[in-house]
Amino acid sequence: MLFADLTTSQTVMYTFSRVEAIAVKAQLLDEGGGIQDSKKFSLDPDITSFEMLQSLLTKAFNMKGKFMISYVTIDDEEHLVQLSVHNDWDLDAAILNSNSVESCLKLIIQQKSPDEGLGDWDVVQRGDIPEGSDRRSISDNLVHAITDRLSSILKPGKKSKPEELYKPSKSPMTDAEFRNYMDCDGKLVNERAFRESIYQGGIDPGLRKVTWRHLVNVFPADLNGKERFAYLQSKAKEYAMLKDVWKTNLKQGTVSEELKFVTSMVRKDVIRTDRTNSFFKGREDNKNIESLFDILCTYSMNHPEVSYCQGMSDMAAVLLVVQNDEANAYLCFCAIMKRLKYNFMFDGKAMTCKFDHLKLLLSYYDPEFWTYMIENEVNDLFFTYRWLLLEMKREFAFNDALYMLEVMWSTLPIDHPLNGVSLSDVYCTCNNSLNLIPKQLISAVASSNGFATGSGTPTPYTKLLSLVRKSSAHSNTPSGNQESIKQMFYDSQQSLPCEMHNGNLHDQENNINHSLEISVSQEPQELSSKFYIDVVTDKNGVLQYKDELLNSGSLEIIDIYNISTDVGESIISTSSMDSG
């Protein structure tokens, strides 16, 4: 084993790029935990990658074989904890936290034992494992089952207890195993195997925080560790701004009916959501309860179509406990709500559909039981409402529920958000600058500038906007379509002659071709790319679709959030030429 002290040469601010150099003091520990060797060196956080650190340490200590690096920091409860460094992302986090312990960061690096995986158990802190079952526990106590299992692995001679009721087909995913699914840049490359593993054995509680973000489809595809870090940071910034909007309204007393309703409902529920869990225990001004309140209010105010519905607090609480960070929990919440929001909607259509499916299943698989239910007039299955709405979350003790949820979620399709998870239905970001523009304002600008040609005939722009609005009003498209829609985007781009890219017109039998330029901003910002849509209006300015892309169906994917102001400008020029 090896211990390394990183001493920062200057105070580390939140933006680590300001630090020019970090002094590293590394200590190699032997198997018994004693100091075997120690070295001092410095590194430049801007250019040092995880790989470089590894090779540096290999050289410095003449290491043979694989070894693991972890650093020591202080957790929220002021305890010293060890966290593993597996990739650039972790390294960034380590450097960010390098001033947390006596202005130096302690790394624990461990020679990889032949029995891979056991070493990782070192990093599981007591606090990482949620406390014992607080409600009806179905599988006795999962944590005990896991620890029993662990001790039977640690001591091969010891036989596992005969009363072991539940045995997952494999042990929970550990740090070491998780790393196998990533390449050297920290890109998650073997996602299918990653999910299969979770399905078979769940996730080590200490690893949930990181893995759940992948599991609930928070990241766009193919991000490496560094990009994910930047993505999370930018989303956290965006969340802070969204939260600020309604908070300011509250402070200034400009409280809309909706805000009044949402805050009072959410307040009533957060003080009775999982309060027996140590995370939310104690007084009502517990900061975690406040975080839960902020997450739910921000979501509700930014998703007026969903607003707030009881039960949402249960789902958000689970994510907040696991993420232990408000902004990240919000991001995860938005990601799962993309799928779950229909359950919570006022019209009840999604729930009705679920009941129907369940009835069908039951009558098919157990006709005898189904007949019994009909005889007893419970065939409406309303008693399963909570099961379905909360994906069984409340039917298990909290810890068991975490395990159950991750296993269940691992069976869902991989669904990387093309341009990152949208945090709001109301606001869009413009030119990646994170300036928030209310959606209503954009449509207002469109109509006030008199884009309509002649007697109220819709211009491509107004048509486009109305389509986008329409699509966001009933965006029931299964998200699985994203891949094919993305392909359509590329196809359309290739089919267009380049001279049409800047909003040129082409008169052909009185029809006018417009090329609309749409910038789709991807996070992180460097990945921003532009797409072009080809549309045709006839001589009266009525929109004729040339490209399938502009059919309302395919337009649904153009989340207003992803359309930058470039579009507006491009279309403005098109429209003005049109009228002239």
CB atoms within 10 A of CB 553: 14
One character per residue 283-312, x = contact with another protein (rule: CB under 8 A)? --------------------------xxx-
Q: Is 286 helix (H, G, I), strand (E, B) or coil?
A: coil
Asked if 348 interacts with another protein (CB under 8 A), we say yes
Give the x-and-dash track for 314-333 against another protein (CB under 8 A): x-------------------
Contact 484, 478 (CB under 8 A): no
Interface with another protein (CB under 8 A), residue from 383, 448, 456, 510? 383
In order, the DSSP letters of 313-338 are HHHHHHHHHHH-SHHHHHHHHHHHHH
Per CB under 8 A, which of residues 391..430 are in contact with another protein?
394
Distance CA 190, CA 180 (A): 8
Nearer to another protein by Cβ, of 56 and 255: the residue is 255
Q: Specify the residue, 214 or 393, whose C-beta has the smaller distance to another protein.
A: 393
Chain-centre distance for alpha carbon 111: 33
Would you count residue 275 as binding another protein (CB under 8 A)?
yes
Distance from C-alpha of 292 to C-alpha of 326, rounded to nearest angstrom: 8
- Provide the residue type at 170 as one letter: K
Q: What gap in Å lies between CA 576 and CA 564, rounded to an integer?
A: 20
How far is residue 265's CA from residue 312's CA, in Å, rounded to a whole number?
A: 11
Q: What letters, b where the CB count within 10 A reaches 16 and e where it falls short, cover 19-50? A: beebebbbbbbeeeeeeeebbeeebebeebbb
Binding residue for another protein (CB under 8 A) from 6, 335, 389, 533? 389
Helices 312-323 and 287-302: angle between axes, nearest 10 degrees: 120
Place of tokens 């590293």: 24
Q: How far is the CB of 26 from another protein (least distance, A)?
A: 48
Kindly state the smallest distance separating residue 510's Cβ from another protein, in Å. 52
Among 109, 146, 329, 390, interactor with another protein by CB under 8 A: 390
Please say which residue, 269 or 517, places its beta carbon nearer to another protein.
269
Nearer CB in complex with another protein: 116/395: 395
In angstroms, give the least distance from the CB of 275 to another protein: 4
Which residue's CB is nearer to another protein, number 78 or number 375?
Answer: 375
Is position 146 an interface residue for another protein (rule: CB under 8 A)? no
Residue 136 CB, shortest distance to another protein, in Å, is 8
380 binds another protein (CB under 8 A): yes
Closer residue to another protein in complex, CB, 346/364 = 346
Answer yes or no whether residue 61 interacts with another protein by CB under 8 A.
no
Query: How far apart are CB 99 and another protein at their closest, in Å?
Result: 38
Instruction: Output 88 or 269, the one with its CB closest to another protein.
Output: 269
Q: Which residues contact 554 (CB under 8 A, 6 or more apart)?
A: 485, 488, 548
String of DSSP letters for 447-505? HHTT--BTTTBPPHHHHHHHHHHHHHHT----GGGHHHHHHHHHHHHHHS-GGGTTT--
**Any contact of residue 522 with another protein (CB under 8 A)?**
no
Tell me which residue of 217, 220, 310, 221 sits closest to 262, measured CA to CA: 310
**Residue 504 one-letter amino acid:** N
Does position 265 interact with another protein (CB under 8 A)? The reply is: yes
Segment interacting with another protein (CB under 8 A) among 2-10, 59-67, 375-383, 443-451 = 375-383
Q: What minimum distance in Å lies between the beta carbon of 214 and another protein? A: 28
To the nearest whole angstrom, how small is the minimum distance from the Cβ of residue 311 to another protein? 5
User: Which of the residues 162 through 191 are near another protein (CB under 8 A)?
Assistant: none
Identify whether the C-beta of residue 219 lies closer than 8 Å to the C-beta of residue 332.
Answer: no
The residues of the shown chain that bind another protein, judged by CB under 8 A, are 265, 268-269, 271-273, 275, 309-311, 313-314, 344, 346, 348, 380, 382-383, 385-386, 389-390, 394
